[in-house]
Amino acid sequence: MIAVIVIQVLSSREGTPGPWKHGRKRISGRRSIRSPSPERNKDPAGRDVVDKLDMLIEQNNTDQNSHSQNLKHLMSESNVLKSFKGVVFLSLNLTQCNVTYDRKALLIDGQRRILFSGSIHYPRSTPEMWESLILKAKDGGLDAIDTYVFWNLHEPSPGNYNFEGRYDLVQFIKLVKKDGLYVHLRIGPYICGEWNFGGFPVWLKYVPGISFRTDNEPFKQAMQKFTQKIVQVMKDESLFQSQGGPIILSQIENEYEPESKLFGPAGEAYVKWAAKMAVGLNTGVPWVMCKEYDAPDPVINTCNGYYCDNFAPNKPYKPTLWTEAWTGWFSDFGGPNYQRPVEDLAFAVARFIQKGGSFVNYYMYHGGTNFGRTAGGPFVTTSYDYDAPIDEYGLVRQPKYGHLQELHKAIKLCEKALLSSDPNVIALGSYEQAHVFSSKSGGCAAFLSNYNLRSNARVTFNNMHYDLPRWSISILPDCQNVVFNTANVGIEASRMQMVPMDVKLESWETFNEDVHSVDDKSPVTVRGLLEQLNMTRDTSDYLWYTTRPLALSLQSAGHGIHVFINGQLSGSAFGTRQKRRFSFTVNINLHPGENTISILSTAVGLQNIGTHFETWNIGVLGPVVLQGLDEGKRDLTWQKWSYKVCLKGEANNLGSPSSTRSTDWIRGSLTALKQRPLTWYKAFFDAPEGDDPLALDMSSMGKGQIWINGQSIGRYWTTPANGNCSECSYIGAFRQTKCHFGCGGPTQQWYHVPRSWLKSTENLLVVFEETGGDASEISLVKRLVTNNRL
């Protein structure tokens, strides 16, 4: 008998599409930018007080006692000081707290500073890589390292904490201190970050009565407990700057403004509670909220995006901070890879600084790898390279690294003038401007800009002529000599090669998942369809749905499905990040009598962003309908279904060296197994000599997961990249719609193998393949990058 099976896969939000539209991952970064607060310049008397305070800050090193007396005098000048009490309070505490702020900048030990920071996430690399990454960041002109804190890694079950190995946050911060840099610790604990479940542990979803990120007592209690835990761990190790440590900033919440608007009064109450809770932890350093315009005092609201030159803080006594300057973009399976030209990134940073910005954090400076099943999205790739100045493997990417390094040097030459005055903006033409900073001590710095998209310009400034390329800014630390232009790159681009190694993968053996035995001893059999995450609790990407009708058609909300009829694969279907609802139709062969239909629903990372994303569903949600029968259609949604979490190979822990001997592996030719689905492969190899970064070329395979010596490399998927891989120009505002590359080939072909995970001999490689591939063509390659100055 022949019937038709129709499978429709829904998006994850309660059976409706779940667009990725909130938080940092909005298509247009500038949509998060707010106009300057109307309070900022409305009171001339208040402006005079702030100017006097600026003068006193500049004189702070001379005489602390005299400084305090002057401040007391200022406090009695007029009632207008009430609107600037934040400035006065902060200035009075310069001798009591190592880090504070005023309207111009963060102050460290009383000194205003322009600071460059870079995001390096400790679990996205290995402890053996950390110091090299930190030192390269320092050599690149950074002053600080920024990292999220990953709740789901540190508290995998309630009250049980893990700070070992890649999760050793304390060791990471101590290395940053050792190498002479500061830290911005973004506790969150919601982080987004294309990280599984936005950084929340999945058990949090099942706390009775909980609702994420709103004025909800169960959520606030859990959030406060974890935040207190992290702060106490930092205090116990004396890691805050107020204790002599490197942490100069902390962040509570993350990109909450879009959610706050949707939650209304409950969102507003939650923001106030979160700010009060964080400040009450008495860390001795300022707190920030990124993309949260209504961040309550004394918390600083900050900007995230591709451009932040139009951003202004919500109070006139807060500094202008850019906590995420996006260096590129993340990739998702089936999508293209992205490159952000460094000319445009440098242009964006210079624009921000000339408008009064004093803190820039590059997101990412090193993106790294989503090892294991940590990638979120869903559909985010295992690589989190992000086109960062340091690539996924820890190698410098030129010219991005070197051009930004030169930018930092040029801006630091202007630091005194930038921090002691406001810019005088002079029109030099229709698209050309000069931002001139003059310090009271006589210093002068100028930024000459050309916003024209079509033509270069020659301008006259201070009776001298300057040539400005289109879409660029020139920096003059003495208002005369150009030391840097954002569009003039003097560093040759990196030449990257993935070179095959003379390493043999030997002693191949296989293990096949037995679809016929899927429903044997199934722990759960119920009428109706169950949501996948409620069954797996994210212990596995896989959930089996099995029933015994005469024929079948179904609708699902899994990220992918494999349909088996009487043990034989009938077809597979997958969603994408852009289109999570899809239909699947296939002809199936049924024999007379009872037929067994098994559907393997697969997840490719959990949702990490969106309002109430804890309620968004995955899995086969129905309806499940048979078509082509004599009686027409038959709805099987409420038939009895058996459920089985994870694969047999996962239950037997096949990725671990300690468990492989107890499994019935089969040795034989791989040729006959090229297209066999649900197959485990294992082989052994010796580590190659040298210290070049290594990767596995998985282009001969389909979709699955990889382990090396029991460590999970992550998910692989060789689905082709779709995009617009045309010419990439730095001119004009960068968006995710431009500068694609890699179209036609796999979105990700190579998968990082940390050398620290290898032994000298007999390294165990285990691969689980879902759809079928040629394991004999898997190869180990090394990454070589050469960089030459022009």
Q: What residues are labeled active site?
A: 255, 324
Residues ≥6 apart with Cβ < 8 Å to 363: 119, 146, 304, 323, 324, 325, 326, 327, 386
Cα dihedral angle (423, 426, 432, 435), rounded to 10 degrees? -20
Task: State whether residue 427 is helix, strand or coil.
Answer: strand
Q: Half-sphere exposure of residue 679, counting CA atoms within 13 Å on the CB side?
A: 21
DSSP assignment letter at 493: P
For the record, the structure tokens of 677 come out as 């689905």
Q: Half-sphere exposure of residue 552, counting CA atoms within 13 Å on the CB side?
A: 33
Amino acid sitting at position 567: G
Q: What whole-number distance in Å separates Cα of residue 210 and Cα of residue 217? A: 8
Long-range contacts of 458-461 (CB under 8 A, 24+ apart): 459/428, 459/429, 459/432, 459/434, 460/428, 461/426, 461/428, 461/434
Q: For residue 469, which of 492, 445, 494, 489 has the smallest C-alpha distance?
A: 489
- Please give, one letter per residue, the 3-state secondary structure of 719-745: CECCCCCCCCCCCCCCCCCCCEECCCC
Q: What whole-number distance in Å separates Cα of residue 220 and Cα of residue 177? A: 32
Residues ≥6 apart with Cβ < 8 Å to 585: 4, 5, 6, 7, 553
At residue 8, what are phi and psi to the nearest 5 degrees?
-115, 125
Q: At what angle do helices 169-178 and 217-236 cross, to 10 degrees?
A: 40
Task: Please answer whether residues 688 and 502 qualify as being in contact, where contact means their C-beta atoms are separated by less than 8 angstroms.
Answer: yes
Q: What whole-number distance in Å separates Cα of residue 369 and Cα of residue 156? A: 20
Q: Half-sphere exposure of residue 284, counting CA atoms within 13 Å on the CB side?
A: 20
Task: Please answer whether residues 193 and 609 qualify as being in contact, where contact means their C-beta atoms are separated by less than 8 angstroms.
Answer: no
- H helices of 140-216, where? 151-154, 169-178
* Residue 167 to residues 124, 149, 161, 580, 603, Cα–Cα distance (Å): 10, 9, 10, 32, 24
Q: What whole-number distance in Å separates Cα of residue 334 and Cα of residue 379? A: 8
DSSP 69-82: HHHHHHHTS-GGGG
Q: What whole-number distance in Å separates Cα of residue 1 and Cα of residue 544? A: 25
Q: What whole-number distance in Å separates Cα of residue 555 and Cα of residue 630? A: 21
Residue 669 — left, alpha, or beta (φ > 0 → left; ψ -120 to 50 → alpha)? beta
Q: What whole-number distance in Å separates Cα of residue 249 and Cα of residue 183? A: 7
At residue 350, what are phi and psi to the nearest 5 degrees?
-65, -40
Task: Please answer whether residues 294 and 314 qualify as being in contact, where contact means their C-beta atoms are separated by less than 8 angstroms.
Answer: yes
At residue 546, what are phi and psi to the nearest 5 degrees?
-135, 135
Q: For residue 227, which of 275, 193, 278 has the smallest C-alpha distance?
A: 278
